[in-house]
């Protein structure tokens, strides 16, 4: 098994220059490229007219790939429909939330419910599977591309109503779950239910949540429809689609609940585009965000994932699209492997000549490979990746987990109250992850679908939307010896965003040994203090005022009307313990708090000492017990780090000193001697 190196390739754009395609394959081989992903946006060339198919160009790609020992990931074309299809079947185009039907254009502009769209997709997918399903070089099916978006057409409205009927059974149950007597919103007929829209209803939080759940389910249903069409001829090849992250902070993609979607893909794959060398944060801080999101996507299936797209240098859709500086490509790509990827695949293998992505980074650009630094850096990475085949399939062993939940995220975004500008769920997640990343402790970022057993420490930041089922899992975890940490804004609402009686889920208060009475908030310039022993830390944005029933106080508030009351507490529960951090603090408090817990729980780190927290050491463990250490320097200075004895540098085959030097932005991969 090999690590995959390659990516999205669009030979359909070069049909008038067939020699270019041949040359490309020669360049791919030279750069240790072993995989190409093709077909994603090729519908108009695959089926130029309804029911007339043209496979000659794709046959040639398979032939060339096979001649060069390259594997093919075959995309289905549903991410962008051809013009003739939209003209003949106008209902395939999306209706936006203002209820206007879009014109033809762009991609991802189709309705996942449309009967006509589903039928045309079934036909083209079946044809592809019939022709290529048994090709030796076919590695995987890549369905569509980055499923996303929603449609508000009549077919979708009726599917949504049906979905609600299945979920609630009666309208009374919907009205109750939505608290619909508020503002006289009671439904008296199923037909009155409509998707949330700025020209209608946006204020019913449970409706908003259900609509997002429905969009996830409808997208998954479309994915399964695509998959079924392939499986008639090809049921032994893994099937996946590529997930995404949102914004330059690499937060989990918001439009779909991937904890659900991941259950139907054979392998999680995703597209990672950090804005390296930006002017608002250090490389190390961005690397931490890259670490977090990869730890989440790896944990979705608790197995290695694939990076389906990344840029060999720059993208075209950030505000400033800055090329990676020399060496950064290796470091950034190795970090993806370090967090559990079995691939580094790119968008794109060759830059297009026209249209919107012509200036996006690519392996083969407009400047020929011989004088193209990007191509050369890709080739160097290819050589290093070829030394790491033993990594394939290896996992990270983590004793710490940070909890994330899409539904909670959606509910927090809807909250009308507290400090809206100071909500910062994602920043808080990163803040609670930081002490571990900086101390080289492996972390899984898990969701409600993961098993909690096996972790020593589970961190639950801002779990506002908190089901009884989740509580039961947490109770079992803590009773049997686990340590859990909750924060302010936890356990307030159920799955339809109805507030629990008393303000907080009773069983959660019992677990934490506290009774929560009030949530205080601060304007950005206002603060309080948290007093822990002799130290004083700053509190900002959020502070909870609570009484203790069985918990012990660990830290106290320094001022305001709750001065002297507990700000942080710990409760012994079963064989474990439950901490409550009532207020938002800076990194200083969290570093102290978690360092103490790491020591107390005897949680191991991948390094002992290091000259800077900008150095990250991550590990993966192969089935044969070999441990891979990735020592990565995200600073622009020479650093050193102390690792376990007896490690061998994979590139040189030499045993290294326990104190390892890393040049600016250098990455070394070491293995434990078996
Ligand atoms: C991805 C997309 C690719 C390409 C890339 C550019 O989101 O899947 O097709 O557009 O972005 O960075």
For ligand 1, atom 5, the nearest C-alpha belongs to: 347
Pocket of ligand 1 (CB under 6 A): 145-146, 271, 273, 309, 315, 347, 357, 360
Query: Looking at ligand 1, which atom is closest to the CA of residue 145?
Result: 8
pLDDT in tens, 40-64: 999 999 999 999 999 999 999 999 9
Average pLDDT, integer, range 627-632: 98
Query: Which three-class secondary structure string do you get for 344-386?
Result: EEEECCECCCCCCCCCCCCCECCCCHHHCHHHHHHHHHHHHHH
Give 294 Cα–ligand 1 centroid separation in angstroms.
Answer: 18
pLDDT in tens, 228-274: 999 999 999 999 999 999 999 999 999 999 999 999 999 999 999 99
Give 591 Cα–ligand 1 centroid separation in angstroms.
Answer: 37
Give 370 Cα–ligand 1 centroid separation in angstroms.
Answer: 26
- Please tell me the predicted confidence (pLDDT) of residue 565: 98
- Please tell me the predicted confidence (pLDDT) of residue 365: 97
pLDDT in tens, 645-673: 999 999 999 999 999 999 999 999 999 97
Give 205 Cα–ligand 1 centroid separation in angstroms.
Answer: 32
Q: Is 222's pLDDT higher than 70?
A: yes
Structure tokens at 497: 């965003």
pLDDT band (50, 70, 90) for residue 674: low
469 sits in which H/E element: helix 468-479
For ligand 1, atom 3, the nearest C-alpha belongs to: 347
- 8 A C-beta contact, residue 195 and residue 99: no
d(CA 294, CA 302): 12
pLDDT in tens, 293-348: 999 999 999 999 999 999 999 999 999 999 999 999 999 999 999 999 999 999 99
d(CA 45, CA 147): 21
d(CA 390, CA 337): 12
d(CA 91, CA 274): 36
Structure tokens at 21: 């395609």
Query: Which three-class secondary structure string do you get for 496-537?
Result: CCCECCCCCCHHHHHHHCEEEEEEEECCCCCCEEEEECCEEE
- Please tell me the predicted confidence (pLDDT) of residue 590: 98
- The position carrying tokens 């800077």 is 612
Residue 68 burial (C-beta neighbours within 10 Å; 0-12, 13-18, 19+): middle
Relative orientation angle of helices 406-414 and 425-438, to the nearest 10 degrees? 130
- Taken in order 469, 470, 474, 475, the sign of the CA dihedral is negative
Compute the mean pLDDT over every residue in the chain, rounded to the nearest whole number.
97
As a whole-number percent, the residues of the chain with pLDDT over 90 amount to 99
Relative orientation angle of helices 171-178 and 154-168, to the nearest 10 degrees? 90
Query: Looking at ligand 1, which atom is closest to the CA of residue 41?
Result: 9
Tell me the CA distances in angstroms from 311 to 31, 34, 122, 249, 348, one per residue in order. Answer: 15, 17, 31, 16, 7
For ligand 1, atom 12, the nearest C-alpha belongs to: 315
pLDDT in tens, 128-162: 999 999 999 999 999 999 999 999 999 999 999 99
pLDDT in tens, 467-491: 999 999 999 999 999 999 999 999 9
Query: Looking at ligand 1, which atom is closest to the CA of residue 317?
Result: 12
pTM exceeds 0.75 for this model: yes
pLDDT in tens, 11-37: 999 999 999 999 999 999 999 999 999
Query: Looking at ligand 1, which atom is closest to the CA of residue 244?
Result: 7
- 8 A C-beta contact, residue 504 and residue 524: no
Which residues are identified as catalytic? 146, 309
Structure tokens at 544: 């909870």
d(CA 610, CA 584): 28
Mutation to probe ligand 1, out of 42, 357, 359, 363 (largest number of atoms < 8 A from CB): 357
Dihedral angle at the C-alpha atoms of 425, 431, 433, 437, nearest 10 degrees? 150
The C-alpha R_g of the chain, in whole angstroms, comes to 26
Partnered with residue 621 across adjacent β-strands are: 395, 627
Give 151 Cα–ligand 1 centroid separation in angstroms.
Answer: 21
Q: Is 70's pLDDT higher than 90?
A: yes
Dihedral angle at the C-alpha atoms of 383, 387, 389, 394, nearest 10 degrees? -120
């Amino acid at each position: 098994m090999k690590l995959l190196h390659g990516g999205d390739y669009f030979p359909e754009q070069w049909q008038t220059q067939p020699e270019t395609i041949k040359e490309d394959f020669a360049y791919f081989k030279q750069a240790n490229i072993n995989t190409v992903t093709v077909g994603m946006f090729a519908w108009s060339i695959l089926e130029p007219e309804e029911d007339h198919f043209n496979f000659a160009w794709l046959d040639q790609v398979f032939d060339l790939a096979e001649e060069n020992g390259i594997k093919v990931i075959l995309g289905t074309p549903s991410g962008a429909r051809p013009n003739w299809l939209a003209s003949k079947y106008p209902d395939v185009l999306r209706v936006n939330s203002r209820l206007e039907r879009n014109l033809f254009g762009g991609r991802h502009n189709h309705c996942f419910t449309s009967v006509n769209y589903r039928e045309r997709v079934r036909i083209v997918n079946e044809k592809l599977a019939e022709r290529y399903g048994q090709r030796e070089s076919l590695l995987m099916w890549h369905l569509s591309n980055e499923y996303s978006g929603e449609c508000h057409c009549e077919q979708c409205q009726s599917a949504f109503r049906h979905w609600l009927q299945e979920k609630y059974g009666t309208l009374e149950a919907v009205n109750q779950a939505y608290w619909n007597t508020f503002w006289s919103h009671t439904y008296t007929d199923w037909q009155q239910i409509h998707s949330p829209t700025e020209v209608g209803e946006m204020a019913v939080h449970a409706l908003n949540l259900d609509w997002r759940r429905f969009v996830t389910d409808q997208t998954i249903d479309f994915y399964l429809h695509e998959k079924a069409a392939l499986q008639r001829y090809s049921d032994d090849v893994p099937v996946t689609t590529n997930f995404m992250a949102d914004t330059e902070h690499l937060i989990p993609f918001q439009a779909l609940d991937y904890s659900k979607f991941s259950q139907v893909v054979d392998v999680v794959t995703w597209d990672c585009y950090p804005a390296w060398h930006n002017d608002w944060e250090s490389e190390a801080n961005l690397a931490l965000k890259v670490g977090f999101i990869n730890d989440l996507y790896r944990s979705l299936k608790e197995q290695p994932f694939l990076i389906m797209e990344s840029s060999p240098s720059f993208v075209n859709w950030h505000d400033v699209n800055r090329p990676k500086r020399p060496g950064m490509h290796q470091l950034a790509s190795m970090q993806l492997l370090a967090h559990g990827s079995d691939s580094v695949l790119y968008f794109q293998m060759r830059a297009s000549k026209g249209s919107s992505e012509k200036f996006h980074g690519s392996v083969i650009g407009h400047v020929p490979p011989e004088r193209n630094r990007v191509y050369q850096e890709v080739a160097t990475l290819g050589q290093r990746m070829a030394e790491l085949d033993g990594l394939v399939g290896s996992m990270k062993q983590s004793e710490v987990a940070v909890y994330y939940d899409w539904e909670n995220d959606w509910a927090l975004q809807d909250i009308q109250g507290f400090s809206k500008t100071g909500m910062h769920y994602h920043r808080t997640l990163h803040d609670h992850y930081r002490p571990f990343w900086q101390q080289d402790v492996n972390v899984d970022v898990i969701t409600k679908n993961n098993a909690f057993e096996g972790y020593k420490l589970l961190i639950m930041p801002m779990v506002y939307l908190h089901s009884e089922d989740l509580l039961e899992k947490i109770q079992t975890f803590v009773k049997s010896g686990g340590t859990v940490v909750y924060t302010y804004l936890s356990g307030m609402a159920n799955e339809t965003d109805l507030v629990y009686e008393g303000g907080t889920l009773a069983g959660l208060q019992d677990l934490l040994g506290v009774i929560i009475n009030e949530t205080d908030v601060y304007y950005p310039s206002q603060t309080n203090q948290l007093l822990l022993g002799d130290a004083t830390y700053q509190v900002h944005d959020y502070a909870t005022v609570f009484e203790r029933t069985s918990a012990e106080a660990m830290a106290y508030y320094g001022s305001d009307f709750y001065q002297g009351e507990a700000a942080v507490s710990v409760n012994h529960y079963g064989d474990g313990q439950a901490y409550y951090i009532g207020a938002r603090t800076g990194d200083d408090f969290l570093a102290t708090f978690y360092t103490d817990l790491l020591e107390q729980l005897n949680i191991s780190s991948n390094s002992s000492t290091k000259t800077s927290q900008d150095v990250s050491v991550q590990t993966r463990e192969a089935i044969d017990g070999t441990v891979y250490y990735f020592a990565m320097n995200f600073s622009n200075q020479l650093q050193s780090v102390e690792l376990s004895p007896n490690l061998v540098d994979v590139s040189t085959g030499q045993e290294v000193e326990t104190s390892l030097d890393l040049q600016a932005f250098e990455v070394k991969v070491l293995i434990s001697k078996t």
